[in-house]
Structure 1
Amino acid sequence: MRNQASRAIFDYWINLKRDGMAPLKTEIDPAALRHLLPHLFMAAMDPAGTLAFRLAGTRICELFDREFRGKPFADVWQETDHRQPVEIAHGVIHSQQPALLDVLASNGHIRHAYEMLLLPIRSVETAASDRIFGALLPAVSPYPVTATPAMFLTLENWTFLTGGGSYFGVPVTGDRRSFSHTPGRSPS
Protein backbone atom coordinates (compact mmCIF):
# COMPACT_ATOMS: atom_id res chain seq x y z
CA MET A 1 0.00 0.00 0.00
CA ARG A 2 1.46 3.29 -1.07
CA ASN A 3 -1.33 5.56 0.15
CA GLN A 4 -1.42 6.19 3.90
CA ALA A 5 -5.21 6.49 3.78
CA SER A 6 -5.41 2.93 2.42
CA ARG A 7 -3.23 1.81 5.32
CA ALA A 8 -5.46 3.63 7.81
CA ILE A 9 -8.59 1.95 6.40
CA PHE A 10 -6.93 -1.46 6.47
CA ASP A 11 -5.80 -0.83 10.08
CA TYR A 12 -9.34 0.16 11.04
CA TRP A 13 -10.74 -3.05 9.49
CA ILE A 14 -8.06 -5.26 11.11
CA ASN A 15 -8.83 -3.76 14.51
CA LEU A 16 -12.53 -4.66 14.09
CA LYS A 17 -11.78 -8.23 12.99
CA ARG A 18 -12.13 -10.88 15.71
CA ASP A 19 -11.43 -14.62 15.81
CA GLY A 20 -10.68 -14.72 12.09
CA MET A 21 -14.19 -13.48 11.25
CA ALA A 22 -14.85 -10.46 9.05
CA PRO A 23 -16.34 -7.52 10.97
CA LEU A 24 -20.07 -6.85 10.95
CA LYS A 25 -21.21 -3.94 8.79
CA THR A 26 -22.86 -2.45 11.90
CA GLU A 27 -19.43 -2.26 13.57
CA ILE A 28 -18.14 0.18 10.98
CA ASP A 29 -18.48 3.67 12.41
CA PRO A 30 -18.63 6.30 9.64
CA ALA A 31 -17.48 8.95 12.14
CA ALA A 32 -14.21 7.07 12.64
CA LEU A 33 -13.47 7.39 8.92
CA ARG A 34 -15.30 10.66 8.23
CA HIS A 35 -12.38 12.29 6.39
CA LEU A 36 -12.19 9.25 4.06
CA LEU A 37 -15.94 8.73 3.44
CA PRO A 38 -15.82 10.27 -0.06
CA HIS A 39 -13.44 7.46 -1.11
CA LEU A 40 -15.33 4.53 0.44
CA PHE A 41 -17.92 2.14 -0.96
CA MET A 42 -19.89 -0.97 -0.05
CA ALA A 43 -20.88 -3.71 -2.46
CA ALA A 44 -23.03 -6.81 -2.02
CA MET A 45 -25.01 -9.27 -4.10
CA ASP A 46 -28.25 -7.86 -5.47
CA PRO A 47 -31.42 -10.00 -5.79
CA ALA A 48 -30.28 -11.17 -9.26
CA GLY A 49 -26.98 -12.47 -7.82
CA THR A 50 -24.85 -9.65 -9.27
CA LEU A 51 -22.25 -7.92 -7.12
CA ALA A 52 -23.53 -4.33 -6.96
CA PHE A 53 -22.63 -1.11 -5.19
CA ARG A 54 -24.79 -0.41 -2.12
CA LEU A 55 -23.05 2.89 -1.41
CA ALA A 56 -20.36 4.88 -3.20
CA GLY A 57 -18.62 7.93 -1.78
CA THR A 58 -18.92 11.33 -3.39
CA ARG A 59 -15.32 11.38 -4.63
CA ILE A 60 -15.84 8.07 -6.45
CA CYS A 61 -19.03 9.37 -8.08
CA GLU A 62 -17.32 12.68 -8.96
CA LEU A 63 -14.35 10.85 -10.47
CA PHE A 64 -16.67 9.05 -12.91
CA ASP A 65 -19.33 11.80 -13.06
CA ARG A 66 -22.07 9.28 -12.29
CA GLU A 67 -23.83 7.61 -9.40
CA PHE A 68 -22.89 4.01 -8.62
CA ARG A 69 -25.50 3.08 -6.00
CA GLY A 70 -27.34 0.00 -7.26
CA LYS A 71 -25.03 -0.40 -10.26
CA PRO A 72 -23.05 -3.61 -10.88
CA PHE A 73 -19.46 -3.65 -9.60
CA ALA A 74 -18.45 -4.64 -13.15
CA ASP A 75 -19.65 -1.24 -14.45
CA VAL A 76 -16.62 0.59 -13.05
CA TRP A 77 -14.22 -1.57 -15.08
CA GLN A 78 -13.31 -1.46 -18.75
CA GLU A 79 -15.85 -3.70 -20.47
CA THR A 80 -13.18 -6.10 -21.75
CA ASP A 81 -11.39 -6.19 -18.37
CA HIS A 82 -14.12 -6.69 -15.75
CA ARG A 83 -14.07 -10.50 -15.33
CA GLN A 84 -10.94 -10.76 -13.15
CA PRO A 85 -11.76 -7.83 -10.79
CA VAL A 86 -15.25 -9.28 -10.25
CA GLU A 87 -13.71 -12.73 -9.54
CA ILE A 88 -11.30 -11.14 -7.07
CA ALA A 89 -14.19 -9.37 -5.30
CA HIS A 90 -16.12 -12.64 -5.07
CA GLY A 91 -12.96 -14.27 -3.70
CA VAL A 92 -12.67 -11.59 -1.03
CA ILE A 93 -16.23 -12.31 0.09
CA HIS A 94 -15.97 -16.10 0.04
CA SER A 95 -12.46 -16.44 1.50
CA GLN A 96 -12.92 -13.53 3.96
CA GLN A 97 -9.47 -12.33 2.91
CA PRO A 98 -8.83 -8.68 1.97
CA ALA A 99 -7.28 -7.70 -1.34
CA LEU A 100 -5.42 -4.70 -2.71
CA LEU A 101 -5.78 -3.88 -6.39
CA ASP A 102 -3.51 -1.54 -8.32
CA VAL A 103 -5.75 0.07 -10.92
CA LEU A 104 -5.65 2.83 -13.48
CA ALA A 105 -8.49 5.32 -13.82
CA SER A 106 -8.71 6.36 -17.46
CA ASN A 107 -10.66 9.01 -19.29
CA GLY A 108 -9.69 7.32 -22.57
CA HIS A 109 -6.49 9.34 -23.02
CA ILE A 110 -4.96 10.00 -19.60
CA ARG A 111 -4.53 7.34 -16.90
CA HIS A 112 -3.96 7.85 -13.18
CA ALA A 113 -2.81 5.23 -10.66
CA TYR A 114 -5.24 4.31 -7.89
CA GLU A 115 -5.42 1.71 -5.14
CA MET A 116 -8.61 -0.23 -4.55
CA LEU A 117 -8.94 -1.89 -1.18
CA LEU A 118 -11.50 -4.71 -0.88
CA LEU A 119 -12.32 -5.78 2.69
CA PRO A 120 -14.82 -8.51 3.54
CA ILE A 121 -17.60 -7.69 6.00
CA ARG A 122 -20.69 -9.48 7.25
CA SER A 123 -24.30 -8.36 7.51
CA VAL A 124 -26.09 -8.89 10.81
CA GLU A 125 -28.06 -11.85 9.46
CA THR A 126 -25.17 -14.09 8.42
CA ALA A 127 -22.09 -15.62 9.97
CA ALA A 128 -20.09 -15.58 6.74
CA SER A 129 -18.84 -12.59 4.81
CA ASP A 130 -21.45 -11.45 2.30
CA ARG A 131 -20.31 -7.99 1.22
CA ILE A 132 -17.33 -5.76 0.60
CA PHE A 133 -16.25 -2.61 2.38
CA GLY A 134 -13.94 -0.89 -0.08
CA ALA A 135 -11.93 2.20 -0.89
CA LEU A 136 -10.70 3.78 -4.10
CA LEU A 137 -7.83 6.16 -3.47
CA PRO A 138 -5.08 7.72 -5.59
CA ALA A 139 -1.91 5.66 -5.26
CA VAL A 140 0.03 8.65 -3.94
CA SER A 141 -0.62 11.37 -1.38
CA PRO A 142 -1.37 14.22 -1.56
CA TYR A 143 -4.12 13.47 -4.01
CA PRO A 144 -3.15 14.52 -7.53
CA VAL A 145 -5.50 16.33 -9.86
CA THR A 146 -7.11 13.62 -11.97
CA ALA A 147 -8.46 14.14 -15.47
CA THR A 148 -12.20 13.63 -15.07
CA PRO A 149 -14.51 12.15 -15.76
CA ALA A 150 -12.84 8.78 -15.75
CA MET A 151 -14.55 6.34 -18.08
CA PHE A 152 -13.33 3.11 -16.48
CA LEU A 153 -10.76 1.34 -14.33
CA THR A 154 -8.26 -1.20 -15.59
CA LEU A 155 -6.59 -3.75 -13.36
CA GLU A 156 -2.80 -3.53 -13.31
CA ASN A 157 -1.93 -5.87 -10.43
CA TRP A 158 -3.48 -7.29 -7.29
CA THR A 159 -2.72 -9.25 -4.16
CA PHE A 160 -4.51 -10.76 -1.21
CA LEU A 161 -3.42 -9.13 2.05
CA THR A 162 -2.37 -11.26 4.96
CA GLY A 163 -1.34 -10.43 8.50
CA GLY A 164 -2.95 -10.90 11.86
CA GLY A 165 -2.47 -7.45 13.32
CA SER A 166 -2.61 -3.85 12.28
CA TYR A 167 -0.64 -2.76 9.24
CA PHE A 168 1.89 -0.84 11.28
CA GLY A 169 2.32 -3.61 13.86
CA VAL A 170 2.55 -6.70 11.65
CA PRO A 171 4.01 -6.83 8.16
CA VAL A 172 1.37 -7.22 5.49
CA THR A 173 2.42 -9.67 2.80
CA GLY A 174 0.91 -10.38 -0.55
CA ASP A 175 -0.59 -13.73 -1.44
CA ARG A 176 -0.94 -13.71 -5.19
CA ARG A 177 -3.28 -16.73 -5.41
CA SER A 178 -6.03 -16.71 -7.95
CA PHE A 179 -9.17 -18.78 -7.96
CA SER A 180 -8.73 -19.72 -11.60
CA HIS A 181 -4.94 -19.72 -11.33
CA THR A 182 -3.03 -22.52 -12.97
CA PRO A 183 0.47 -23.40 -11.68
CA GLY A 184 3.21 -21.39 -13.35
CA ARG A 185 0.88 -18.61 -14.51
CA SER A 186 0.65 -15.22 -12.81
CA PRO A 187 -2.87 -14.28 -11.61
CA SER A 188 -2.59 -10.73 -12.88
Structure 2
Amino acid sequence: MFGLGGSGEGVVSMTEREKERRLAPLRLIESYWHGLLGADGLAPLRSQIDPRGIESALEYAFLGERIAPMLAKLRVSGTHLNELMGLDMAGMPLSTLITPEDREQLGAAVSKLFSEGLEIRLRLVAEEGFGKGRLTGDMLLLPLRSDLGDMSRMIGGLVTHGRLGRTPRRFRIESISMRKPGQAPIMPAPLPAPVAAREPLLGLAESQAPYRTIRTPKAPRETGKRPPYLRLIISNDD
Protein backbone atom coordinates (compact mmCIF):
# COMPACT_ATOMS: atom_id res chain seq x y z
CA MET A 1 0.00 0.00 0.00
CA PHE A 2 1.03 3.59 -0.58
CA GLY A 3 0.11 6.46 1.72
CA LEU A 4 0.62 10.18 2.05
CA GLY A 5 1.14 10.24 5.78
CA GLY A 6 0.92 8.47 9.09
CA SER A 7 -2.80 9.17 9.52
CA GLY A 8 -3.81 6.68 6.86
CA GLU A 9 -5.51 9.30 4.70
CA GLY A 10 -4.97 8.80 1.00
CA VAL A 11 -3.91 5.17 1.49
CA VAL A 12 -4.47 3.05 -1.62
CA SER A 13 -4.56 -0.73 -1.27
CA MET A 14 -2.82 -2.20 -4.31
CA THR A 15 -4.19 -5.62 -3.35
CA GLU A 16 -7.78 -4.38 -3.51
CA ARG A 17 -7.12 -2.51 -6.73
CA GLU A 18 -5.65 -5.65 -8.32
CA LYS A 19 -8.63 -7.69 -7.12
CA GLU A 20 -11.06 -5.19 -8.63
CA ARG A 21 -9.18 -5.27 -11.92
CA ARG A 22 -9.13 -9.07 -11.98
CA LEU A 23 -12.85 -9.39 -11.18
CA ALA A 24 -13.89 -6.69 -13.68
CA PRO A 25 -15.00 -9.23 -16.36
CA LEU A 26 -17.31 -10.97 -13.87
CA ARG A 27 -18.77 -7.66 -12.71
CA LEU A 28 -19.48 -6.71 -16.33
CA ILE A 29 -21.25 -10.02 -17.00
CA GLU A 30 -23.23 -9.67 -13.77
CA SER A 31 -24.30 -6.06 -14.43
CA TYR A 32 -25.28 -6.91 -18.02
CA TRP A 33 -27.39 -9.85 -16.78
CA HIS A 34 -29.06 -7.69 -14.14
CA GLY A 35 -29.93 -5.16 -16.83
CA LEU A 36 -31.88 -7.88 -18.67
CA LEU A 37 -33.81 -9.12 -15.63
CA GLY A 38 -37.57 -8.76 -15.82
CA ALA A 39 -39.38 -6.40 -13.47
CA ASP A 40 -40.40 -9.42 -11.39
CA GLY A 41 -36.84 -10.77 -11.25
CA LEU A 42 -37.45 -13.34 -13.98
CA ALA A 43 -34.22 -14.60 -15.57
CA PRO A 44 -33.46 -13.28 -19.09
CA LEU A 45 -33.95 -15.38 -22.20
CA ARG A 46 -30.90 -16.91 -23.85
CA SER A 47 -31.88 -15.13 -27.08
CA GLN A 48 -31.57 -11.75 -25.29
CA ILE A 49 -27.82 -12.18 -24.80
CA ASP A 50 -25.87 -9.97 -27.21
CA PRO A 51 -22.08 -10.57 -27.16
CA ARG A 52 -21.52 -6.88 -27.83
CA GLY A 53 -22.92 -6.14 -24.38
CA ILE A 54 -20.02 -7.96 -22.69
CA GLU A 55 -17.39 -7.51 -25.40
CA SER A 56 -14.48 -6.80 -23.05
CA ALA A 57 -15.29 -9.94 -21.00
CA LEU A 58 -15.87 -12.41 -23.84
CA GLU A 59 -12.60 -14.33 -23.36
CA TYR A 60 -13.66 -15.18 -19.79
CA ALA A 61 -17.35 -15.82 -20.52
CA PHE A 62 -19.27 -18.97 -21.40
CA LEU A 63 -22.80 -20.13 -22.17
CA GLY A 64 -24.16 -23.47 -21.04
CA GLU A 65 -27.28 -25.61 -20.96
CA ARG A 66 -28.77 -28.08 -18.51
CA ILE A 67 -28.48 -31.69 -19.64
CA ALA A 68 -29.31 -33.40 -16.33
CA PRO A 69 -30.51 -32.27 -12.89
CA MET A 70 -26.96 -31.64 -11.64
CA LEU A 71 -25.05 -31.34 -14.91
CA ALA A 72 -24.53 -28.51 -17.39
CA LYS A 73 -22.72 -28.57 -20.73
CA LEU A 74 -20.86 -25.61 -22.23
CA ARG A 75 -22.19 -24.49 -25.60
CA VAL A 76 -19.92 -21.45 -26.08
CA SER A 77 -16.57 -21.11 -24.33
CA GLY A 78 -14.23 -18.13 -24.02
CA THR A 79 -10.57 -18.47 -24.94
CA HIS A 80 -9.43 -18.26 -21.30
CA LEU A 81 -11.27 -21.47 -20.41
CA ASN A 82 -9.78 -23.18 -23.45
CA GLU A 83 -6.28 -22.10 -22.39
CA LEU A 84 -6.82 -23.42 -18.86
CA MET A 85 -7.77 -26.88 -20.11
CA GLY A 86 -5.60 -27.00 -23.24
CA LEU A 87 -8.61 -27.83 -25.45
CA ASP A 88 -11.80 -26.35 -26.85
CA MET A 89 -14.30 -26.51 -23.99
CA ALA A 90 -17.38 -26.07 -26.18
CA GLY A 91 -19.45 -29.25 -25.82
CA MET A 92 -17.71 -30.29 -22.59
CA PRO A 93 -19.38 -30.52 -19.15
CA LEU A 94 -18.78 -27.55 -16.87
CA SER A 95 -17.58 -30.05 -14.26
CA THR A 96 -14.50 -30.74 -16.42
CA LEU A 97 -12.97 -27.63 -14.83
CA ILE A 98 -13.43 -29.06 -11.31
CA THR A 99 -11.51 -31.82 -9.55
CA PRO A 100 -13.45 -35.12 -9.28
CA GLU A 101 -13.84 -34.95 -5.50
CA ASP A 102 -15.63 -31.57 -5.69
CA ARG A 103 -17.92 -32.23 -8.65
CA GLU A 104 -20.85 -33.26 -6.47
CA GLN A 105 -20.67 -29.85 -4.79
CA LEU A 106 -20.72 -28.13 -8.17
CA GLY A 107 -23.62 -30.32 -9.26
CA ALA A 108 -25.66 -29.36 -6.20
CA ALA A 109 -25.03 -25.67 -6.90
CA VAL A 110 -25.94 -26.07 -10.58
CA SER A 111 -29.17 -27.77 -9.55
CA LYS A 112 -30.04 -24.76 -7.35
CA LEU A 113 -29.24 -22.36 -10.17
CA PHE A 114 -31.71 -24.02 -12.55
CA SER A 115 -34.45 -24.92 -10.07
CA GLU A 116 -34.50 -21.69 -8.04
CA GLY A 117 -32.88 -19.12 -10.34
CA LEU A 118 -30.03 -18.40 -7.91
CA GLU A 119 -26.86 -16.50 -8.67
CA ILE A 120 -23.86 -18.71 -7.88
CA ARG A 121 -20.35 -17.60 -7.01
CA LEU A 122 -17.46 -20.00 -6.49
CA ARG A 123 -14.01 -19.36 -5.11
CA LEU A 124 -11.54 -21.81 -6.66
CA VAL A 125 -7.98 -23.01 -6.07
CA ALA A 126 -6.16 -24.99 -8.76
CA GLU A 127 -4.37 -28.25 -8.14
CA GLU A 128 -0.60 -27.80 -7.90
CA GLY A 129 2.19 -30.02 -9.14
CA PHE A 130 5.16 -30.14 -11.49
CA GLY A 131 4.92 -27.08 -13.71
CA LYS A 132 1.68 -26.08 -11.97
CA GLY A 133 2.15 -23.26 -9.48
CA ARG A 134 -0.28 -21.26 -7.37
CA LEU A 135 -3.43 -20.38 -9.33
CA THR A 136 -6.73 -19.16 -7.89
CA GLY A 137 -10.00 -18.47 -9.65
CA ASP A 138 -13.44 -16.93 -9.32
CA MET A 139 -16.46 -18.30 -11.18
CA LEU A 140 -19.87 -16.71 -11.68
CA LEU A 141 -22.97 -18.65 -12.80
CA LEU A 142 -26.23 -16.91 -13.74
CA PRO A 143 -29.47 -18.55 -14.93
CA LEU A 144 -31.10 -17.98 -18.32
CA ARG A 145 -34.35 -19.22 -19.83
CA SER A 146 -34.66 -21.02 -23.15
CA ASP A 147 -36.99 -19.69 -25.84
CA LEU A 148 -39.60 -22.09 -24.43
CA GLY A 149 -39.40 -20.32 -21.09
CA ASP A 150 -37.85 -23.12 -19.03
CA MET A 151 -34.82 -22.35 -16.83
CA SER A 152 -32.33 -24.53 -18.66
CA ARG A 153 -29.59 -22.15 -19.83
CA MET A 154 -26.81 -20.25 -18.08
CA ILE A 155 -24.27 -17.53 -18.66
CA GLY A 156 -21.11 -17.38 -16.61
CA GLY A 157 -17.50 -16.35 -16.38
CA LEU A 158 -14.22 -17.60 -14.95
CA VAL A 159 -11.21 -15.43 -14.13
CA THR A 160 -7.95 -16.62 -12.60
CA HIS A 161 -5.02 -15.08 -10.76
CA GLY A 162 -1.54 -16.56 -11.11
CA ARG A 163 0.60 -18.20 -13.73
CA LEU A 164 -1.16 -20.69 -15.98
CA GLY A 165 1.68 -23.24 -16.14
CA ARG A 166 1.15 -26.72 -17.53
CA THR A 167 -2.34 -27.63 -18.61
CA PRO A 168 -4.92 -28.87 -17.91
CA ARG A 169 -5.62 -26.88 -14.74
CA ARG A 170 -8.51 -28.20 -12.67
CA PHE A 171 -9.82 -26.48 -9.55
CA ARG A 172 -10.91 -27.40 -6.07
CA ILE A 173 -13.87 -25.50 -4.65
CA GLU A 174 -12.82 -23.31 -1.73
CA SER A 175 -16.23 -21.74 -1.15
CA ILE A 176 -19.66 -21.34 -2.75
CA SER A 177 -22.18 -18.56 -2.19
CA MET A 178 -25.69 -18.31 -3.64
CA ARG A 179 -28.33 -15.61 -3.66
CA LYS A 180 -31.60 -14.58 -5.18
CA PRO A 181 -31.22 -11.54 -7.47
CA GLY A 182 -31.02 -8.44 -5.29
CA GLN A 183 -30.65 -10.33 -2.01
CA ALA A 184 -27.70 -10.95 0.31
CA PRO A 185 -25.55 -14.02 -0.44
CA ILE A 186 -26.52 -17.37 1.05
CA MET A 187 -23.59 -19.44 2.28
CA PRO A 188 -24.54 -23.11 1.97
CA ALA A 189 -23.42 -25.08 5.00
CA PRO A 190 -23.50 -27.82 4.05
CA LEU A 191 -24.52 -28.14 0.42
CA PRO A 192 -27.47 -30.44 -0.38
CA ALA A 193 -26.57 -34.12 -0.06
CA PRO A 194 -25.55 -35.59 -3.44
CA VAL A 195 -27.48 -38.47 -4.96
CA ALA A 196 -25.85 -41.87 -4.79
CA ALA A 197 -26.22 -42.49 -8.51
CA ARG A 198 -26.70 -40.17 -11.46
CA GLU A 199 -30.32 -39.77 -12.50
CA PRO A 200 -31.35 -40.55 -16.09
CA LEU A 201 -30.64 -37.92 -18.73
CA LEU A 202 -33.66 -35.66 -18.97
CA GLY A 203 -32.59 -33.38 -21.82
CA LEU A 204 -33.69 -29.85 -21.05
CA ALA A 205 -36.61 -30.81 -18.83
CA GLU A 206 -36.33 -29.64 -15.23
CA SER A 207 -36.85 -32.15 -12.46
CA GLN A 208 -38.88 -30.96 -9.46
CA ALA A 209 -38.24 -34.10 -7.40
CA PRO A 210 -36.36 -33.58 -4.09
CA TYR A 211 -32.92 -35.05 -3.52
CA ARG A 212 -33.12 -38.73 -2.75
CA THR A 213 -30.83 -41.71 -2.29
CA ILE A 214 -31.12 -44.38 -4.94
CA ARG A 215 -30.43 -47.88 -3.63
CA THR A 216 -29.56 -50.71 -5.93
CA PRO A 217 -31.59 -53.88 -5.12
CA LYS A 218 -29.56 -56.88 -4.03
CA ALA A 219 -29.15 -59.67 -6.52
CA PRO A 220 -30.93 -62.93 -5.53
CA ARG A 221 -28.69 -65.62 -4.05
CA GLU A 222 -27.94 -68.73 -6.00
CA THR A 223 -30.06 -71.67 -4.76
CA GLY A 224 -28.98 -74.37 -7.19
CA LYS A 225 -32.58 -74.93 -8.36
CA ARG A 226 -33.58 -74.86 -11.99
CA PRO A 227 -35.41 -71.72 -13.09
CA PRO A 228 -39.19 -72.35 -13.06
CA TYR A 229 -39.49 -71.78 -16.77
CA LEU A 230 -37.22 -74.79 -17.64
CA ARG A 231 -38.98 -78.20 -18.03
CA LEU A 232 -37.65 -81.66 -18.80
CA ILE A 233 -39.38 -83.10 -21.90
CA ILE A 234 -39.10 -86.90 -22.66
CA SER A 235 -40.11 -88.21 -26.05
CA ASN A 236 -41.03 -91.96 -26.57
CA ASP A 237 -41.66 -91.65 -30.30
CA ASP A 238 -38.43 -93.48 -31.23
Displacement of 1:30: 0.0
Which structure's residues are more often strand, by fraction? 1
Q: RCO greater where, 1 or 2, for CA within 8 Å and sep 6 or more?
A: 1
Runs of 4+ in 1 over 6 A off after TM superposition: none
Q: Distance in 2 between matches of 1:12 and 1:118?
A: 13
Worse-matched range after superposition: 42-51 or 86-95: 42-51
Map 1:65-84; keep pairs closer than 5 Å.
65-84=86-105
Counting only pairs closer than 5 Å after superposition, residues 34-183 of structure 1 correspond to structure 2 as: 34-46=55-67, 50-106=71-127, 108=129, 109-126=132-149, 128-138=150-160, 144-164=162-182, 173-177=184-188, 180=192
Quick one: which of 13, 27, 45 aligns to 1:24? 45
Cα offset, 1:174, TM superposition: 1.4
Q: 1:97 to 1:48 in 2, by over 3 A?
A: closer
Tell me if 1:33 matches 2:44: no
1:107–1:152 contact (8 Å) kept in structure 2: no
Asked if 1 retains the 8 angstrom alpha-carbon contact of 2:124 and 2:137, the reply is yes
- TM-score where L is the length of structure 1: 0.79
- Partners of 1:8 and 1:37 lie apart in 2 by 10
| Cα deviation code 1:128-161 (max 9, x no counterpart) | 311211100126xxxx543242431110001013
Which of 101-110 and 40-49 deviates more? 40-49
Q: Does 1:10 align with 2:33?
A: no
- The amino acid of 1:62's aligned partner reads E
Counting matched residue pairs gives: 169
Deviates more, 1:130-139 or 1:40-49: 40-49
Residues 104 and 156 in structure 1, CA contact (< 8 A), matched pair in contact too = yes
Could you tell me how far apart the structure 2 residues matched to 1:24 and 1:131 are?
8
TM-aligned CA deviation for residue 47 of structure 1: 8.1
2:47 aligns to what SS in structure 1? helix
SS in 2 for 1:21: coil
Name stretches of at least 5 consecutive residues in structure 1 with no aligned partner. Answer: 165-171, 182-188
| Paired position in structure 2 for 1:186 | none
Q: Which is worse superposed, 22-31 or 153-162?
A: 153-162
CA distance in 1: counterparts of 2:184 and 2:166, whole angstroms: 33
Shift of 1:119: 0.2
Query: % of aligned pairs identical?
Result: 24
